[in-house]
């Protein structure tokens, strides 16, 4: 493989992508819907901020001890947008990759392309690089426009929030690369574009929906139902890990022993449940993306699991960016490995393809 050949193929693919009507149409839809969601998120953020200011004013006027409310963060806006990015981003990435190879087959241009002084690996690598650059272009435009909207509404993120937003978009790119590599692989193994598109959607549906559902069924069969919560007259609020949340009224000694036993059983159950569920959801690009994006956009989270999360936090105490990433390191690793695996399959298949 020579760098010149790779560069020429990548440049051609990149130009073809950003000038195609399909890419422009989907990108325009992606930007419009994202901008609308961003505007709605900014409106919700401003409402929360006003409510926060009113609570602070009431606390200052009243005497006695009060629990300080949590100041809203602009990261809430991006947390809401993560759902949208996972759906529209998948459509954009699949639309870009499902016909990269089949289009050449259908036109009969693949054979003539190989007659030029260019190697097979330069073609497949160049097409992949061109598609990746186009995805970076699309996400980059989205980031610039949506960040400009924040400044337009006089919302300036702190340094910690800024880097969390940058990492959020970085993880978004990784998620789109997973979908793009699935589409590229489907295009390589298929005879025509119609089958490639169908295969790509089947794989995505299998990874994003079938695998998590299968994990839930296995959890039900292996772990069973959660332990039954004891009937205690005291007002108690807990999360699924058996941790106390909110106001707790005094319990007598018998109730305390019963509750401690239940908490320990629930903790063991939850650990087994999430160990199995996470093992299945680790194959899902959107589930991994949601886990990482939620961890980044909600620094108060204590525990994060696949597509679900526990909002157990200490008011006023946040986690650092490093701590947020450490909670979801498996999901980050999966978002890196999945595109590599699917591209490797596409690469091997293309290199062994009989082009006559």
Per-residue pLDDT, averaged over 53-68, amounts to 66
SS3 for the chain, per residue?
Answer: CCHHHHHHHHHHHHHHHHHCHHHHHHHHHHHHHHHHHHHHHHHHHHHHHHHHHHHHHHHHHCCCCCCCCCCCCCHHHHHHHHHHHHHHHHHHHHHHHCCCCHHHHHHCHHHHHHCCCCCHHHHHHHHHHHHHHHHHHHHHHHHHHHHHHHHHCCCCCCHHHHHHHHHHHHHHHHHHHHHHHHHHHHHHHCCCHHHHHHHHHHHHHHHHHHHHHHHHHHHHHHCCCCCCCCCCCCCCCECCCCCECCCCCCCCHHHHHHHHHHHHHHHHHHHHHHHHHHHHHCCCHHHHHHHHHHHHHCCCCCEEECCEEECCCCCCCCCCHHHHHHHCHHHHHHHHHHHHHHHHHHHHHHHCCCCC
> What's the confidence (pLDDT) of residue 58?
74
pLDDT for residue 181 is more than 90? yes
Q: Is the pLDDT of residue 314 over 50?
A: no
Q: How many CB atoms lie within 10 A of CB 287?
A: 27
Answer whether residue 203 shows pLDDT above 90: yes
Residue 23 burial (CB count, 10 A): 18
Question: Tens digit of pLDDT for each residue in 115-154?
Answer: 666 677 778 888 888 888 988 888 888 888 888 888 888 8
Is the model more confident about 30 or about 302? 30
pLDDT of 249 strictly over 70: no
**Would the pLDDT of 280 be above 60?**
yes
pLDDT at 186: 92
pLDDT of residue 273: 82
Residue 241, pLDDT above cutoff 80:
no
Range of the domain at 149: 3-62+69-351
pLDDT of residue 341: 93
Asked whether residue 15 is assigned to any structural domain, the reply reads: yes
Residue 81 lies in a domain: yes
Query: Residue 315: pLDDT band by 50, 70, 90 thresholds?
Result: very low
| Residue 319 placed within a domain | yes
CA distances from 212 to 124, 283, 316, 317, 332 (A): 32, 9, 34, 32, 18
Count of other CB atoms within 10 angstroms of residue 5: 18
Would you say residue 340 has pLDDT above 90? yes
Q: At what angle do helices 159-189 and 193-205 cross, to 10 degrees?
A: 130
Q: Domain for residue 205, yes or no?
A: yes
Tokens of 26: 């989907």
Q: Is the pLDDT of residue 178 over 90?
A: yes
pLDDT, residue 116, reads 62
pLDDT classification of 179: cutoffs 50, 70, 90: very high
What's CA 267's distance to the chain center, in Å? 27
Q: pLDDT higher for 307 or 160? A: 160
pLDDT of residue 355: 63
- Which of 17 and 63 is assigned the larger pLDDT? 17
User: Given pLDDT bands bounded at 50, 70 and 90, which one contains residue 239?
Assistant: low
- Distance separating alpha carbons of residues 201 and 183, to the nearest angstrom: 8
Question: Does residue 208 carry a pLDDT above 80?
Answer: yes
More confident: 356 or 175: 175
**Within a domain: 356:** no
Counted domains in the chain: 1
Q: Of 67-76, 116-125, 191-200, 294-303, where does the model show the most confidence?
A: 191-200
Q: Which of 186-190, 231-235, 297-301 has the lowest mean pLDDT?
A: 231-235
- Tell whether the model's pLDDT for residue 319 goes beyond 80: no
Average pLDDT in the chain: 79
Q: What is the pLDDT of residue 88?
A: 81
User: Is the separation of the CB atoms in 85 and 99 below 8 Å?
Assistant: no
CB 231 within 8 A of CB 134: no
Residue 65 predicted with pLDDT over 70: no
State residue 72's pLDDT score.
75
pLDDT score, position 233: 52
pTM confidence score: 0.81
């Amino acid at each position: 493989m020579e760098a010149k050949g790779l560069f020429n193929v990548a440049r051609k693919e990149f130009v073809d992508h950003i000038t195609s009507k399909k890419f422009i149409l989907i990108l325009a839809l992606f930007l419009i819907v994202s901008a609308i969601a961003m505007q709605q998120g900014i409106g919700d953020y401003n409402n929360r901020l006003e409510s926060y200011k009113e609570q602070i004013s009431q606390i200052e006027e009243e005497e006695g001890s009060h629990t300080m409310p949590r100041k809203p963060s602009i990261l809430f806006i991006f947390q809401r947008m993560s759902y949208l990015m996972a759906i529209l981003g998948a459509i954009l990435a699949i639309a870009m990759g499902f016909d990269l190879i089949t289009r050449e087959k259908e036109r009969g241009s693949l054979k003539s392309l190989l007659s030029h002084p260019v190697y097979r690996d330069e073609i497949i690598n160049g097409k992949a690089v061109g598609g990746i650059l186009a995805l970076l272009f699309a996400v980059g435009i989205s980031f610039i426009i949506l960040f400009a909207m924040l400044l337009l509404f006089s919302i300036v993120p702190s340094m910690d929030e800024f880097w969390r937003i940058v990492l959020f978009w970085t993880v978004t790119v990784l998620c789109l690369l997973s979908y793009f590599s699935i589409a590229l692989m489907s295009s390589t193994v298929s005879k025509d574009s119609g089958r490639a598109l169908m295969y790509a959607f089947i794989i995505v549906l299998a990874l994003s929906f079938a695998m998590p559902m299968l994990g839930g069924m296995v959890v039900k069969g292996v772990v069973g139902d959660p332990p039954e919560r004891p009937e205690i007259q005291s007002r108690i609020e807990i999360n699924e890990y058996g941790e106390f949340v909110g106001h707790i009224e005094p319990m007598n000694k018998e109730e305390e022993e019963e509750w401690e036993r239940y908490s320990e059983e629930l903790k063991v159950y939850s650990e087994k449940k999430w160990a199995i569920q996470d093992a299945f959801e680790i194959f899902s690009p959107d589930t991994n993306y949601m886990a990482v994006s939620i961890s980044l956009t909600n620094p108060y989270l204590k525990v994060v699991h696949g597509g679900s999360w526990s909002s157990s936090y200490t008011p006023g105490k946040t986690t650092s960016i490093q701590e947020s990433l450490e909670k979801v390191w498996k999901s980050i690793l999966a978002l890196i490995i999945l595109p590599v695996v699917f591209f490797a399959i596409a690469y091997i298949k293309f290199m062994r393809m009989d082009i006559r």
